[in-house]
């Protein structure tokens, strides 16, 4: 099985996901044209909702496929816009007849852009991805009291917006000062009532924490929980947390990783083993089959942005490595 | 002329504004029932868009009435929801036939809830408002770069959301630490693209600064401008500022303030002179006529909140003082 996903974030680039699916189709086309007779079926997957932006968690389709989330639960997920995934899949004609997981892959390989700066910085063409960092997504809600911006002394405020700002700066300072590679991001925020002369009564924000090491990821979560306690006391606000996604770091199949390195070498391409900073469908399919990933460089490390780009030369190199590894895994 | 406004903020209380207009009608009713023959016409005003939440600036109707803003400019104001004030006034049947400012008041008196904690804390029933603090409203836009939350090292981020959080915490720390009574509030915020795994490319926030002293208000504005410069350098983001409202502190007519104090005393009510923390239509009408305000206590100092409340006894006391001052100003 080879593939990736075709959903995107808001204001996305054109490579994240689609590149892996289109390359997989191209690999099959090429193998056919070459008269290649595989030892087993070769299947292309385009997983639903890998990004998780509208419906959490991310990698939802491959998670369901791997048996990690019941189909019904996934279809009943209510999105950030209040819609239900199942209804929306029906509406756009993407609700298929098969029960997910009907195939049990011999192996899964996913080709993807790196979405980060490592390969470009080191002038390396192929990333042989051997692991994926852990992901922790939480939604934090802060409740204070609406009051008048002009008449309420600072000392009497229960300002949900200020507490939210403190959470954002806490996460950044910790990520910057700790010697660990933990990254922390607040991507979404909203205030209520969201009026210029009203102290916010409620603030809602999302927290994305990642680390390749499970123990350090737990430490980051614990530090956040401790800070939320402290800020709720200090600012007299109520803080509640909802978990949106939690995936432990994943180690890929080392034999496939080695095949990727070898395929790159045989084509005269530079390569290195590396960790994926982003989540990917491969990390879910790794639960039911040997899996690994091939990365190609992202210009300036930009992704989740319309400026996302990968040079043609690198796009072709990645697809050729995918072709060779698939040929190798499906050889008679 | 007596009155106030009947527009409200989002999720408002029921007293802010309406109390002054309804009491004005009640005063006229009472004077009529008493057979009072005034020396000049008594007029009730209900000014448009005092709150300024949807269309900036606040006190827009009375500002137009006082000649501080052309009617056409006000009607062409585009709101936070993209609508135009003139169109919306027409749609709800509030577009009147008269050119604002057709009356030139002998005096203007406005009865309003305090919206702050001072009167209740001191167990005083009547506030004789002698001045209003200055108001500075700005919209700050921070532009960074969208990028992937999992793959982008902290050191490579241009995170508009983090910069916005730093602006919020800066304003609070300054308000808390300076020995001045300057208050600062961030009531509105939004991130773009507002997705959990995307570093915000843009953050927009509103800043409400107030101080009874013009010089200190200028210092607060200058300190913010300096901080915006610093954060834009530090975080490699672009910061731009749009002014939404700017009103200098206003001093009311001291003879009317004295009449309010005397009316309270004659009715056996406690009173004190005080500053208004909120903006009011009276501060605009003060440009074209002697003006002053009467305040009554707000329970727990709460306003711009559905929990806003004033006890009946205080509501009645305020209306009686208004009645007496109007009677006094319109006596033959
Ligand atoms: N590859 C990718 O962008 N996945 C989306 C899930 C995430 O890592 O945030
Ligand atoms: N009184 C009152 O709430 N006015 C609205 C304008 C402001 O002070 O923010």
The whole-angstrom separation of Cα A220 and Cα A104 is: 36
Min Cα distance A72 → chain B (Å) is 24
> Residue A64: inside a domain, yes or no?
no
Q: What percent of chain B clears pLDDT 90, i.e. is strictly above it?
A: 96
The residues with which A138 forms a beta bridge, in sequence order, are: A207, A243
- A122 contact partners, CB below 8 Å, separation of at least 6: A272
pLDDT the model gives residue B259: 98
A173 shares a domain with A211: yes
Dump the DSSP string for B230-297.
HHHHHTT-EEEEEEEEEE--EE--HHHHHHHHHHHHHTT--EEEEEESS--HHHHHTTTS-EEEEEE-
Nearest ligand, CA of residue B276? 2
> Residue A152: inside a domain, yes or no?
yes
- CA distances (Å), B179 to each of A33, B182, B224, in order? 79, 9, 17
B238 shares a domain with B161: yes
Give B155-160's long-range contacts (Cβ < 8 A, gap of 24+). B156/A117, B156/A301, B157/B199, B158/B199, B158/B235, B158/B236, B158/B237, B159/A172, B159/A185, B159/B199, B159/B200, B159/B235, B159/B237, B160/B191, B160/B192, B160/B199, B160/B200, B160/B201, B160/B202, B160/B203, B160/B237
> Residue B55: inside a domain, yes or no?
no
A52 CA from centroid of ligand 1 (Å): 8
Q: Which residues of A touch B159 (CB under 8 A)?
A: 172, 185
> CB of B88 closer than 6 A to ligand 2?
no
Query: What CATH number does the domain containing B141 carry?
Result: 3.30.70.360
> CB of B16 closer than 6 A to ligand 2?
yes
B265 shares a domain with B315: yes
Q: What region does A123 belong to: left with phi over 0, alpha with psi -120 to 50, or beta?
A: left
> Residue B235: inside a domain, yes or no?
yes
> Residue A93: inside a domain, yes or no?
no
Mean pLDDT check: name the lowest of A101-105, A196-200, B66-70, B130-134.
A101-105
A125 shares a domain with A22: yes
A181 shares a domain with A203: yes
Tokens representing B163 are 């910069």
A221 shares a domain with A260: no
CA-based angle B237:B240:B246, to the nearest 5? 145
The answer, yes or no, to whether residue A178 has pLDDT greater than 80, is: no
Q: How high does pLDDT run on average in chain B?
A: 97
> Residue A3: inside a domain, yes or no?
no
Q: Of the candidates A224, A247, A270, which is a domain's last residue?
A: A247
Dump the DSSP string for A231-264.
HHHHHT-EEEEEEEEEE--EE--HHHHHHHHHHH
Q: pTM, whole model, 2 decimals?
A: 0.96
B257 shares a domain with B128: yes
A280 shares a domain with A259: yes
Mean pLDDT of all residues in A293-306: 98
A141 shares a domain with A243: yes
Tally the domains of chain B. 2
Is residue A272 within 8 A of residue A237, CB to CB? The reply is: no
Query: What CATH number does the domain containing A258 carry?
Result: 3.40.630.10
pLDDT the model gives residue A100: 87
SS3 category, A190: strand
> Residue B153: inside a domain, yes or no?
yes
The answer, yes or no, to whether residue A275 has pLDDT greater than 90, is: yes
pLDDT the model gives residue A186: 98
Is A183's CB within 8 Å of B147's CB? no
Q: Of the candidates A230, A247, A264, which is a domain's last residue?
A: A247
Q: Which residues of B touch A115 (CB under 8 A)?
A: 148, 150-151
Q: Of the candidates A247, A275, A298, which is a domain's last residue?
A: A247
B186 shares a domain with B39: no
B298 shares a domain with B225: no
Q: Cα–chain-centroid distance for residue A5?
A: 11
Q: How high does pLDDT run on average in chain A?
A: 97
> Residue A294: inside a domain, yes or no?
yes
pLDDT the model gives residue A248: 98
The answer, yes or no, to whether residue B96 has pLDDT greater than 90, is: no
Most B CBs within 10 A among A50, A185, A208, hence the mutation to make, goes to: A185
Domain with B144 in it: 134-247
Mean pLDDT of all residues in A223-235: 98
B243 shares a domain with B139: yes
């Amino acid at each position: 099985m080879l593939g990736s996903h075709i959903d995107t974030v808001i204001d996305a680039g054109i490579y994240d996901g689609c590149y892996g699916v289109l390359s997989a189709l191209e690999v099959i086309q090429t193998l056919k044209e070459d008269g290649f007779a595989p030892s087993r079926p070769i299947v292309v997957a385009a997983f639903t909702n890998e990004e998780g932006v509208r419906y959490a968690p991310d990698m939802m389709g491959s998670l369901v496929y791997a048996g990690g989330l019941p189909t019904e639960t996934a279809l009943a997920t209510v999105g950030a816009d209040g819609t239900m995934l199942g209804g929306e899949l029906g509406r756009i004609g993407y609700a298929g007849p098969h029960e997910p997981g009907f195939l049990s892959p011999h192996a899964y390989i996913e080709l993807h852009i790196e979405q980060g700066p490592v390969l470009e910085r080191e002038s390396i063409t192929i990333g042989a991805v051997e692991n994926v960092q852990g992901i922790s997504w939480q939604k934090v809600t802060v409740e204070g009291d609406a009051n008048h911006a002009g008449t309420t002394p600072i000392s009497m405020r229960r300002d949900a917006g200020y507490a939210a700002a403190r959470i954002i700066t806490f996460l950044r300072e910790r990520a910057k000062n700790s010697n660990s590679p933990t990254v922390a991001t607040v991507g979404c925020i909203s205030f209520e009532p969201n009026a210029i002369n009203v102290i916010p009564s409620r603030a809602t924000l999302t927290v994305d924490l990642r680390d390749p090491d499970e123990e350090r990821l737990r430490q980051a979560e614990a530090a956040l929980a401790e800070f939320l306690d402290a800020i709720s006391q200090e600012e007299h606000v109520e803080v509640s947390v909802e978990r949106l996604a939690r995936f432990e770091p994943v180690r890929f199949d080392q034999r496939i990783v080695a095949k990727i390195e070898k395929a790159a070498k045989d084509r005269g391409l530079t390569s290195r083993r590396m960790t994926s900073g982003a989540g990917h469908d491969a990390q879910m399919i790794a639960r039911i089959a040997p899996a690994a990933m091939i990365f190609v460089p992202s210009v300036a490390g930009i992704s989740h942005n319309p400026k996302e780009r990968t040079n043609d030369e690198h796009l072709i190199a990645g697809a050729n490595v995918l072709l060779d590894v698939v040929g190798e895994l499906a050889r008679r």
